[in-house]
Amino acid sequence: MISKKIEEALNGQVNAEMYSAYLYLSMESYFRSLNLSGFAGWMRAQTQEEMMHAMKLYDFINEHGGRVTLKAIEGPPTKWESPLAVFEATYKHEQKVTGLINKLVDSAIEQKDQAANTFLQWFVKEQVEEESSVDKVVQKLKMADRNPQAMSTLDRELGQRALT
Question: Applying CB under 5 A, does 155 fall inside the site for Fe ion?
Answer: no
Rounded-to-integer distance, Cα 108 and Cα 106, Å: 6
Asked whether the beta carbons of 158 and 137 are under 8 A apart, the reply is yes
Residue number, 28 or 50, with CB nearest to Fe ion: 50
Residue number, 57 or 141, with CB nearest to Fe ion: 57
**How many CB atoms lie under 10 A from the CB of residue 34?**
15
Q: Which of residues 15-34 bind Fe ion (CB under 5 A)?
A: 17
Rounded-to-integer distance, Cα 163 and Cα 140, Å: 20
Count of residues touching Fe ion (by CB under 5 A): 4
Q: Which of residues 42-61 bind Fe ion (CB under 5 A)?
A: 50, 53
| Cα torsion 133, 44, 37, 157: sign | positive
What would the x/- binding string for Fe ion be over residues 120 to 149, using CB under 5 A? ----------x-------------------
